[in-house]
Amino acid sequence: MGLPESSVGAESLDMDRIPRHVGCVMDGNGRWAEQRGMARTEGHAQGEHALLDVIQGALEIGIEWLSVYAFSTENWNRPEDEVRFLMNFNRTILRRRCEQLNELGVRIRFVGRRDWRVPTGVMKEMDEAIELTRKNKRLSLVVAFNYGGRAEIVDAVRKIAARRIPARRITERTIASYLYDQEMPEPDLIIRTSGEYRISNFLLWEMAYSELVFTDVLWPDFDRSHLFAAIAEYQHRHRRFGQVQ
């Protein structure tokens, strides 16, 4: 569904029904830049401001977990200069914004593969952000970086096989316990920007019963009012979790 054109304020939301965990597929940065005759990388830079406003909106209404899709395992197939930019860009975001997020009480976490493709300097910035913010409790910001939902499930199965757990003992709970972040709750709401109606390999296991909201807004134009509009739509739905109610 498309979100309404008009702005939605926090005062219009039912504060007793705020989703605990919201996930965002931040899509449309490149198209936003191309529509303005800019390099695709300029769209990613503008997307940083959108992300910060959404984080502040999440803090405003008391969302506990916010997960964002920053770089997928498939993004390595993009043009080499764009991949190089994204690696350096994500590193500089951490360096530039980490202290600010720490002061806001945001705990930074990462999910994804830590393999040879991720530069050592980027992983160092990630570890420093985790350590600096690990005691914060207002909001857990989960950054999916070098992440793929299928890869996460494959990695979980590999760990289970390495532990030689008998097949008869493997349950959904077993697999869930070997995912990248066992503390992270399943998302209540997933938002996808830019008019695409697909999930693109984001939190495939975790989103089994998530509510999905799609919007035509490109990520650089997305702000907290769009977040609130998505939550307003979520609050109009009745979650059944497979039951008849």
| Active site annotation includes 75 | yes
pLDDT for 73-118, tens place per residue? 999 998 888 888 888 777 878 888 999 999 999 999 999 999 999 9
* pLDDT number for residue 161: 97
Q: Return the bridge partners of 94, or none.
A: none
The one catalytic residue in 75, 88, 102, 136 is 75
pTM comes to 0.93
Amino acid 7: pLDDT: 64
Instruction: Tell me the pLDDT of the chain averaged across its residues.
Output: 92
Catalytic pick among 14, 16, 27, 29: 27
**3-state class of 109 per DSSP?**
strand
Burial of residue 142, with CB atoms counted within 10 A of its CB: 0-12 exposed, 13-18 middle, 19 or more buried: buried
% the chain with pLDDT above 70: 94
Q: Which residues pair with 211 in a beta bridge?
A: 189
Tens digit of each residue's pLDDT (9 = 90 or more) over 132-167: 999 999 999 999 999 999 999 999 999 999 999 999
* Beta-bridge mates of residue 21: 65
Q: Is 29 a catalytic residue?
A: no
How far is 43 from 36, CA to CA, in rounded Å? 9
Q: Strands, E, within the chain: which ranges?
A: 21-25, 65-72, 106-111, 139-147, 189-192, 211-214
